[in-house]
Structure 1
Amino acid sequence: MSADPLLVLQLQRMGDLILTFPLLLALKKRWPGHPLWVAAEPQFFQELMPLAPEVVFFPPSHCPALARGTYTVVINLSGRSSAATCLADATAAFKLGPAASPGGLHVHGYWQLYRTALTQNNHHNAFHWSDLYRLDLAPTVRPGQAGYMLPVGAKSGRVALVLGASEAAKRPDALFWARLAHRLAAAGFMPVFLGGPAESALGREVARLARLPQANLCGRLPLGEVAAVLRGVDLCISPDTGPMHLADWLGVPVLNLSMGPVHARETGPTAPGQWVLRAAMSCVGCWQCRRSKLYCKLAFTPAAVARAALAILEDPRGNRPLSRSGPLPGLSLCRTGRDALGLYRLEALEDQAARTSPSCRVFLEDFWQAVFLFLYDSSLRPLARQRLTALQNAFPALAQRLDAGLAGLCARCAAAFRHQTMPADFWRGEVPLLRLFAGHTHMFLQNADFSPQGWQTTLERLTALRALFSSGAE
Structure 2
Amino acid sequence: MKEILIVNLTRMGDLLQTTPLMAGLKEQYRDARITLLVSSRFAEICSGIPLIDDLIVFDMHGFRDRLMQKEHDLVGNYLFLKRLISRLNEKEYDLAINVTHSSVSALIISLVHAREIRGFTIDSEGHRVIRHPWLKYFFNVVPNRDYNPFHLVDMYLKAGDVMPERKGLIYEVRDEDRVNAEEILLKEGIRNEDSLVGIHLGASKSDKTWPVSSFVEVADMISREYHARVILFGSSTEADLGEKFTSAANCKPVNLIGKTSLGELAALLKQCSVLISNDTGPLHLATAVGTTVVDIFTANVHFLETSPYGEGHYVIQSDLPCVPCGFDVQCNNMKCKDAITPQIVCDTVKTVLNNKAGISANKFLMPEHVQIYRTYFRENGMLGFYPIKRKEITREILYRILYRAVWDMDIHMSSNECEAACNGICDELSSCCLLSRAWSIVCSLKEDAKALARLNELAGQGLGIIDRICEEAGRDAIEINLLKELSDRLESVDRELELAGHAYPCFRPLLVVFVFSREALEGSGLSALANSSKKIYEELFFRSLKFLQVMKKIITFMESKSENEQEPRPETIHETACRGCDR
When the two structures are superposed, what TM-score results if normalisation uses the length of structure 2? 0.71
Aligned-partner SS, 2:86: helix
1:461 equivalenced with 2:537 (yes/no): no
Range that drifts further, 311-320 or 230-239? 311-320
- Residues 326 and 289 of structure 1: is their aligned pair in 2 closer, same or farther, counting only changes over 3 Å? farther
Query: What does 1:125-274 correspond to in 2, within 5 Å?
Result: 125-138=148-161, 142=163, 144-146=165-167, 148=169, 156-187=194-225, 188-210=227-249, 214-274=253-313
- Residues 42 and 212 of structure 1: is their aligned pair in 2 closer, same or farther, counting only changes over 3 Å? farther
- Residues 430 and 317 of structure 1: is their aligned pair in 2 closer, same or farther, counting only changes over 3 Å? farther
Per the TM alignment, residue 51 of structure 1 is displaced from its structure 2 partner at its CA by 4.5
Per the TM alignment, residue 288 of structure 1 is displaced from its structure 2 partner at its CA by 2.8
1:43 equivalenced with 2:116 (yes/no): no
Range that drifts further, 417-426 or 306-315? 417-426
Per the TM alignment, residue 366 of structure 1 is displaced from its structure 2 partner at its CA by 1.4
Percent identity reads 21
Distance 2:382 2:95 in 1: 23
Larger-gyration structure (1/2): 2
Asked if 2 retains the 8 angstrom alpha-carbon contact of 1:271 and 1:336, the reply is yes
Per the TM alignment, residue 89 of structure 1 is displaced from its structure 2 partner at its CA by 2.3
- Residues 81 and 401 of structure 1: is their aligned pair in 2 closer, same or farther, counting only changes over 3 Å? same
Cα distance per residue 1:280-308 (max 9 Å; x no partner) = 33553455375664332231122321222
Query: What does 1:78-89 correspond to in 2, within 5 Å?
Result: 78-89=100-111
Asked if 2 retains the 8 angstrom alpha-carbon contact of 1:235 and 1:252, the reply is yes
In structure 2, the partner of 1:404 is: 450
In structure 1, the partner of 2:117 is: 95
Q: Which amino acid aligns with 1:315?
A: N
- Residues 427 and 14 of structure 1: is their aligned pair in 2 closer, same or farther, counting only changes over 3 Å? farther
In structure 2, the partner of 1:64 is: 85
1:326 equivalenced with 2:365 (yes/no): yes
Per the TM alignment, residue 464 of structure 1 is displaced from its structure 2 partner at its CA by 3.9
In structure 1, the partner of 2:180 is: none
Per the TM alignment, residue 79 of structure 1 is displaced from its structure 2 partner at its CA by 1.6
- Residues 435 and 292 of structure 1: is their aligned pair in 2 closer, same or farther, counting only changes over 3 Å? farther
Alignment RMSD, CA only?
3.3
Distance 1:322 1:329 in 2: 19
Q: Which amino acid aligns with 2:244?
A: E
Asked if 1 retains the 8 angstrom alpha-carbon contact of 2:21 and 2:160, the reply is no
The counterpart of 2:503, out of the listed 414, 430, 453, is 430
- Residues 224 and 326 of structure 1: is their aligned pair in 2 closer, same or farther, counting only changes over 3 Å? same
- Residues 66 and 347 of structure 1: is their aligned pair in 2 closer, same or farther, counting only changes over 3 Å? farther
Asked if 2 retains the 8 angstrom alpha-carbon contact of 1:156 and 1:234, the reply is no
Per the TM alignment, residue 360 of structure 1 is displaced from its structure 2 partner at its CA by 4.4
Distance 2:338 2:110 in 1: 44
- Gap runs ≥5 in structure 1: none
1:104 equivalenced with 2:127 (yes/no): yes
Distance 1:111 1:464 in 2: 18
Per the TM alignment, residue 166 of structure 1 is displaced from its structure 2 partner at its CA by 1.3
- Residues 358 and 461 of structure 1: is their aligned pair in 2 closer, same or farther, counting only changes over 3 Å? closer
Aligned-partner SS, 2:119: strand
Aligned-partner SS, 2:146: coil
Q: Which amino acid aligns with 2:346?
A: A
- Residues 242 and 423 of structure 1: is their aligned pair in 2 closer, same or farther, counting only changes over 3 Å? farther
Q: Which amino acid aligns with 1:385?
A: C
- Residues 197 and 420 of structure 1: is their aligned pair in 2 closer, same or farther, counting only changes over 3 Å? same
Count of residues in Structure 1 that have an aligned counterpart in Structure 2: 461
Q: Which has the higher helix share?
A: 2
Aligned-partner SS, 1:91: coil
In structure 2, the partner of 1:297 is: 337
Aligned-partner SS, 1:7: strand
In structure 2, the partner of 1:7 is: 5
- Residues 252 and 211 of structure 1: is their aligned pair in 2 closer, same or farther, counting only changes over 3 Å? same
Aligned-partner SS, 1:269: coil
Asked if 2 retains the 8 angstrom alpha-carbon contact of 1:427 and 1:442, the reply is no
In structure 2, the partner of 1:120 is: 143
Distance 1:427 1:70 in 2: 44
Asked if 1 retains the 8 angstrom alpha-carbon contact of 2:17 and 2:284, the reply is yes
Cα distance per residue 1:363-416 (max 9 Å; x no partner) = 321111111111568476345433565699954434323312212434566588
Per the TM alignment, residue 320 of structure 1 is displaced from its structure 2 partner at its CA by 6.1
When the two structures are superposed, what TM-score results if normalisation uses the length of structure 1? 0.86
In structure 1, the partner of 2:376 is: 337
- Residues 418 and 427 of structure 1: is their aligned pair in 2 closer, same or farther, counting only changes over 3 Å? closer
Distance 2:338 2:217 in 1: 15
Per the TM alignment, residue 418 of structure 1 is displaced from its structure 2 partner at its CA by 4.8
In structure 2, the partner of 1:385 is: 422
Aligned-partner SS, 1:164: coil
